[in-house]
Amino acid sequence: MSHNYRLIVSCPDRVGIVSRVSSFIASQEGSIIEANQHSDLATGRFFMRYDIRANALSAHDFRIAFAPIAEEFEMNWRLSDSDRRQRVVVMVSKESHCLVDLLYRWSAGELDCDIPCVISNHDDLRAMVAWYGIPFHHVAVEPDDKASAFAEVERLITAAEADSVVLARYMQILPPDLCQRYAGRVINIHHSFLPSFAGAKPYHQAFERGVKLIGATCHYVTEELDAGPIIEQDIQRVSHCHTPQDLVRLGRDVEKAVLARGLRWHLQDRVLIHGNKTVVFS
């Protein structure tokens, strides 16, 4: 029986990394299905992602055998088992378009993950989530007691054994300590072409400024609002004919598309964080 792994590496760039890693894989009778690598010239850092098929080797044995190489090259690395689906908790408020889109793609097999639950600060989308057979948790966030709400949110995330969390238009700001504990694992969709129009009501900001394109940005959540590493962005043309409500409507399509692409790449270990930027092997 064959196993599929993904080896994700970043390390200081130097001669011989590819040779050493690929020889190791060949020595274990693994074959490389897909290979991506990138040398960042500005920082001298090297990134690689190998999709590997191995017949005999277990993940455990792979990790033990690979450790000395990783140490020699000062690698920051992980091996993920492609056959094990990530567990992704989705968080929403009242706006349904991103959730509807994610659930459709998930049910159509486009997103290779399990969704143990959906958490919302409103109860509006319960029926839709129920239709997909997914548990729905309503955790209201009261302005004067956010701490207890987010304690409950974190309890649910932990109980769900979530690998990643997706903020699919969840209109609350996560507390800093939660951002830190899940660094690189919480994905947000922001409804503007960042860094333009960070913060609240970006479509209204865009309308006021009179831009001719609106956009959306999928990024990892960090403590600083709307400032984390960008995974994916896209835009939609608009004109003087469009009201703020039109921008909201047109923007929904961009948000859905950008979040779906960003999440899909994240689930396939195609997104490597590099400082406040990303390397995306799409």
CB atoms within 10 A of CB 196: 15
Nearer to a second copy, 182 or 220 (CB): 220
Given the residues 51, 163, 226, 269, the one annotated as active site: 226
Backbone angle region of 195, left / alpha / beta, with phi > 0 → left and psi within -120 to 50 → alpha:
alpha
Instruction: Output the smallest distance, CB 100 to a second copy, in A.
Output: 5
From CA 26, how far away is CA 266, in angstroms rounded?
Answer: 27
From CA 149, how far away is CA 270, in angstroms rounded?
Answer: 33
Nearer to a second copy, 77 or 132 (CB): 132
Residue 226: closest CA among 203, 255, 204, 202: 202
Nearer to a second copy, 31 or 76 (CB): 31
Instruction: Output the smallest distance, CB 57 to a second copy, in A.
Output: 13
Question: Is 81 within 8 Å of 3 (Cβ atoms)?
Answer: yes
Q: Which residues pair with 187 in a beta bridge?
A: 166, 220
Question: Is 103 within 8 Å of 126 (Cβ atoms)?
Answer: no
From CA 140, how far away is CA 261, in angstroms rounded?
Answer: 29
Instruction: Output the smallest distance, CB 237 to a second copy, in A.
Output: 9
Instruction: Output the smallest distance, CB 256 to a second copy, in A.
Output: 9
Nearer to a second copy, 15 or 147 (CB): 15
Instruction: Output the smallest distance, CB 263 to a second copy, in A.
Output: 14
Active site residue 144: no
Instruction: Output the smallest distance, CB 19 to a second copy, in A.
Output: 4
H helices within the chain, ranges in order? 17-27, 59-72, 97-107, 126-131, 146-159, 176-181, 202-209, 244-267
- Residues engaged in binding a second copy (CB under 8 A): 14-16, 18-20, 22-23, 25-26, 29-35, 37-42, 96-97, 100, 104, 108, 110, 131, 193-197, 209-213, 215, 229-235, 239-241, 243, 249, 253, 257, 274, 276-280, 282
From CA 70, how far away is CA 63, in angstroms rounded?
Answer: 10
Nearer to a second copy, 3 or 146 (CB): 3
Question: Is 189 within 8 Å of 259 (Cβ atoms)?
Answer: yes
Q: Which amino acid is at 189?
A: I
Nearer to a second copy, 51 or 141 (CB): 51
Residue positions annotated with a catalytic role: 226
